[in-house]
Structure 1
Amino acid sequence: MQISQTKSFSFRSVANALMLLATAVLLLSACVPTEQAQPQAGDIVTAVIGNLSASATASGQVQAARTASLAVARPGTVTDVYVRVGDMVAAGDALVQLDTSALALNVAAAEQTVRLRQSSLDQLNELPAEADVTAAEAAVTSAQASLDQLLAGPSATQLAIYDANVRASQASLWSASADLAGQRASVTDSQIQVAEAALLSAQLNLQRAQDTDEDNPTQQTYDALMQATQAVSSAQARLDDLRAGPDVGAAQGSVAAASARLDATEADYTLNTAAPTDVELTQSQSQLAQAEATLAELLAEPTAEDIAVAEAQLEQAQLSLADAQQALADATLTAPFDGVVTAVSASPGEYANGIVVRLADSTALEVILNVDEADIGQIAVGQEAVLTLETWPDTDIPAEVTAVAPNATTTPGSALITYEVHLQVGETDLPVRLGMTANAQLITAQRENVLLVPNQAISADRASGTYSVQLVSGDMTTAVLVTIGLRDGSYTQITSGIQEGDQLLIGDTLPVQTFGPSSN
């Protein structure tokens, strides 16, 4: 009986124990704190190994890392504009064309000058042609002979020729004059009287022939009448000629021509027999000197100075050509790099002078941030950053610090001091546009595989400059000094004092977990 009671007690005890255990489990489950975004006072947290980074935030606008305000090199009239705002261009593409008509002429003239200068230099370095030397020597010989003859005067033979020419001209004049006088004396009064008688006789014969023809007209009488008429005409003409006098026009012309020839031969005699004048000597000597100088120039080798001058002239001509060619090339405004056209301020027909196109490199974007002076000391070139755009706030874009301004930026009426920080926008599939607002998180420091605890678990003693944590051991806590490193908004790096897995109390009171009372 006792045994059966004992078994019965044992069964009830086990059942009661199981009920108590289940109740305890439920109570414990209810008392275990749930996971919070931030630990609260009284929570127990664990020191863990993880990665930590500190950052600063700022915002700015998306800009092109490289821009260009393109101006025409020289003023001119616009003939063509090849781009519009928003056009994508490649380096070297033509953007604006100025008028080149005058510039092309300048290039042609400069090219001609270069050719002439090159020819002059080549001639200095070349030997003279044999034909040129022969001609120059002949010119010297001729000029010398002319001067010698001028100084020596005419020879006896030449004097005889000049004198004979004068005598022949005089004889011609005398002969022509005698002929004229003879013609003028060839008509006499008796000749006129004979002619008058002959005319009267012819007239009487004509009258008889007319009468005969009227009385008995026949062919014979008609022919006689015609002959008598012709005889009267001839007699009248002869009388008229005698009364008019002889025709001396030809003879007078011969006299004039002979007189002119005599004047010419006498002048030639005087010219060739007189002593040379100073002017003639000077001219002849000058011709000889010029011929000798030409020959000497052909035979003489160029001096170093001559070659240097010719080379300098050629170089100057080449520089002028290069300047003209550059001016012609500058008339075409081209893109210095790949990019997008952001402004165009020229139209065909306008006179352009200054900036006409603005270009931005859309392949290299940057964001310029104004970072508070409190954070600028932690930012350096090469640091990583994360960007988000207002248009796509949930998409991170990698970035990197490329420049930090050395001088501060101040805002009038404000005590805020900031520094410009340039971020290079990394690769992204988003269609990022210039001018978009960007928010940046600048990673100022990073630690990997370090011991981390929540910031709330650390107590700071400002007076002593020390830090401590409440280390949990069972139902007891112990204040332990620790050294800290990097921290962000949630966690702090612990460099000494505790180790991974240690339990830490936030605050100074352990959490109380109450279980429901047992039914026994």
Structure 2
Amino acid sequence: MKRVIKTLLLLAILGGGAYFFAPQIKPYIAPLLAAVTGQQTPIETASLPPDAAKLTPPPAVTVIKAQHADFTAMVTVSGSLIPRDEILVTPEVEGFRVLQLNVDEGDRVKQGDVLAVLVQESLEAQLAQNAASLARAEAAIAQARSQIVEATARREEAEANFNRAKPLKNSGFLSGSTYDQREAAAKSTAAQFKAAEDGLRVAEADKLQIEAQRRELQWKHANTKVTSPADGLISRRTARIGGMASGVGEPMFRIIYRGEVELDAEVIETDIGKIANGQKAVIDVAGVGPVQGTVRLVSPEVDRQTRLGRVRIFLGDDARLRIGAFARGTITTGRSHGIAVPSAAVIFDPSGAYVQVVNDNRVERRDVKPGLISGGLVEILEGVGDGDVIVARAGSFLRSGDQVRPVLPDSKISEAR
């Protein structure tokens, strides 16, 4: 008896499972269950209503309303800090040893400040020798002038004697030899006078040469003091006490003109056309933080190998900035105010850009003209108005005319930064 009961229970369980989960075999299971359970009529299968498909609800789609927002277009740059202008200080005179150094790296200097002093003894000795030569030249000039005075008197006397001899020779009262002697004396004294004048000019020329040498020596002596040509910040000092000053090779000092620093940044070639002089920038300098800057120079050249252009961003005189430090930042290339939609809502195909607008719970394609892109939002210049309901994340699974159930999230479009 127990075996019969177990068999009936097993058949009932199997029949019930097949009845609910396999409708296609219900006609075969129903008579068996009826026989086991003692029922005389078979179980009728349930049937679905013929319009069941029409009762399926449309798919839910997240939508968002187009709103006005502020857009700020930015270009990312990176590079190293360099001087706005760098002054290279080299000695005006070479071959002298460094005697004294008055500044070090990091010091601020004014125009005319003495940076270093070179050995001056040899120049002082040359100046003393030049002074003696100049005194001799002045004495030679005085002597030449005295000789001119003496030669003038002899020439005038000889000319007077010669002029008196002319009528006497014509009248026969003066011999020919005497006349010839007076004529020769007049010519000789005239030549001596000319020589005295030439001697004066030579002495004066010697004096001018000595004076020129003296000015050169004085200039060298003055430039044994190496001075700053402008206000600035000492960024590097290679001069050493006892070293030989030379204008060849590394300069003695490098000065950042007025202490002004700028960023030598690299920009991809697709963005460099958006940058112009005067645009504002925010630069994040390593170890310093954000620093305000202004675009000063946009290079007209793009590197053929890296496809990068160069931009100079002026940062000004800031004691926190260090030459060679790495920095990156953004340049504001444009601002506008217009209709904003999420960037995921805009679809691009060969015919252009479009969004999917929901009207009366149906999807509609709307061609648009995009503008600035900022903060995950796209500015729509044409095609969408304020308040239009847009599919937040458009995709190929939706087509124009599809019926949807729009779901509007609580969040709103905020100002694009």
With structure 2 as the length reference, what TM-score do the two structures score?
0.61
**Distance in 2, Cα, partners of 1:50 & 1:311:** 86
CA contact (8 A) 1:51 1:446 kept: no
How far off its partner does 1:137 sit?
4.2
- 2-structure distance, mates of 1:455, 1:485: 11
Tell me the distance in 1 between the aligned counterparts of 2:317 and 2:390.
Answer: 43
Match of 1:401 among 273, 291, 295: 295
Q: Is 1:377 the equivalent of 2:273?
A: yes
Is 1:417–2:295 an aligned residue pair? no
Q: Distance in 2 between matches of 1:504 and 1:339?
A: 58
Task: State the Cα distance separating 1:121 from its structure 2 match.
Answer: 10
Corresponding residue of 1:460: 348
Q: 1:363 aligns with which of 253, 256, 259?
A: 259
Question: Displacement, 1:368?
Answer: 1.3
SS class of match (1:451): strand
Superposed counterparts of 1:235-314, under 5 Å? 291-294=189-192
Report if aligned partners of 2:348, 2:354 keep a CA contact under 8 Å in 1: yes
* More displaced stretch, 52-61 vs 102-111: 102-111
Shift of 1:312: 8.0
Matched, 1:136 2:153: yes
CA deviation digits over 1:358-411, x for unaligned, max 9?
A: 223362111112222333333333332211123244xx322122223444447x
Q: Higher strand share goes to which structure? A: 2
1:475 aligns with 2:364: no
Describe the superposition over 1:144-202 as per-residue Cα deviations: whole angstroms up to 9, x where unpaired.
Answer: 89xx9xxxxxxxxxxxxxxxxxxxxxxxxxxxxxxxxxxxxxxxxxxxxxxxxxxxxxx
Report the Cα offset of residue 437 of structure 1. 2.2
In 1: Cα distance, 2:262 partner to 2:125 partner: 46
Aligned partners of 2:364, 2:193: CA distance in 1, in Å? 121
Paired amino acid for 2:284: T
Residue aligned with 1:431, SS: coil
CA deviation string 1:464-508 (max 9, x = no partner): 1x2222334453443222212222351222221222333322235
Q: Which amino acid aligns with 2:335?
A: R
> Offset at 1:66?
2.0
Identity among equivalent positions (%) equals 24
1:503 and 2:397 correspond: no
Deviations 1:331-360 (A, max 9, x none): 221112222223333333332223222223
User: Which residue does 1:438 correspond to in 2?
Assistant: 327
Give the alignment of 1:130-209 within 5 angstroms. Answer: 132=149, 136-137=153-154, 140=157
**2:241 corresponds to which residue?**
348
Give the alignment of 1:509-520 within 5 angstroms. 509-512=404-407
SS, match of residue 274 in structure 2: coil
Q: Which runs of 5+ in 1 are unaligned?
A: 1-40, 149-281, 514-520
Instruction: State the distance in 1 between where 2:86 and 2:347 align.
Output: 52
Tell me the secondary structure at the aligned position of residue 42 of structure 1. strand
Tell me, what secondary structure is at the counterpart of 1:456?
Answer: helix
Matched length: 318
Q: Which residue type is aligned with residue 356 of structure 2?
A: Q
Relative to structure 1, the CA distance from residue 81 to residue 45 in structure 2 (aligned partners, 3 Å threshold; closer, same or farther) is same
Alignment match of 2:93 (pick from 56, 71, 74): 74
1:60 equivalent among 65, 79, 103: 79
Aligned CA distance change for structure 1 residues 87 and 134 (closer, same or farther; 3 Å): closer
> Quick one: which of 100, 123, 139 aligns to 2:120?
100
Deviation string for 1:315-343 (max 9, x for gaps)? 76665454333323332211122222233
Larger radius of gyration: 1
Structure 1 residues 79 and 453, CA gap change in structure 2 (3 angstroms): same
Say what the alpha-carbon RMSD is for the aligned residues.
4.7
Evaluate the alpha carbon distance shift between residue 310 and residue 497 of structure 1 in structure 2; reply closer, same or farther with a 3 A threshold.
farther
C-alpha displacement at 1:418, in angstroms? 2.2
* Whole-angstrom CA distance in 1 between matches of 2:192 and 2:131: 29
The alpha-carbon distance between structure 1 residues 364 and 510, as it changes in their structure 2 partners (threshold 3 A), is farther
Aligned pair partner of 2:68 in 40, 49, 53? 49
Task: State the match for 1:387 in structure 2.
Answer: 283
Please say if 1:333 is aligned against 2:226. Answer: yes
**The residue matched to 2:294 in structure 1 has which SS?**
strand
Given residue 49 of structure 1, which amino acid in structure 2 is its aligned partner? H
Q: Tell me how far 1:94 sits from its aligned partner.
A: 0.9
Shift of 1:446: 0.9
Distance 1:460 1:350, change over 3 A: closer
Amino acid of the structure 2 residue aligned with 1:85: E
CA contact (8 A) 1:366 1:424 kept: yes
Secondary structure of the structure 1 residue equivalent to 2:111: coil
Quick one: distance in 2 between partners of 1:100 and 1:398? 48
Q: CA separation in 1, counterparts of 2:79 and 2:321?
A: 14
Local SS of the residue matching 1:469: strand
Code of the residue aligned with 1:475 in structure 2: it is N
Structure 2 CA distance, aligned partners of 1:350 and 1:426? 35
Q: What is the SS of the residue equivalent to 2:344?
A: helix
Checking the alignment, whether the CA contact within 8 Å between 1:341 and 1:360 is kept in structure 2 is yes
User: Quick one: structure 1 residues 420 and 110, their matched pair in 2 at CA, closer, same or farther if it must change by over 3 Å?
Assistant: farther
1:424 deviation in Å? 0.9
Q: Does 1:492 align with 2:378?
A: yes
Distance 2:299 2:153 in 1: 79
Match of 1:451 in 2: 339
* Ranges in structure 2 where 5+ consecutive residues have no aligned partner: 1-59, 166-180, 399-403, 409-417
**Aligned residues of 2:155 and 2:193 also touching (Cα < 8 A):** no
Contact 1:397/1:427 (8 A) holds in 2 = no
Distance 1:324 1:488, change over 3 A: same
More helix by share: 1
**Retained in 2: the 8 A contact 1:485–1:493?**
yes
Q: What SS does the aligned partner of 2:330 have?
A: strand
Q: Alignment partner of 2:153: what SS?
A: helix
Deviation at 1:106, TM superposition (A): 4.6
Q: Distance in 2 between matches of 1:119 and 1:451?
A: 95
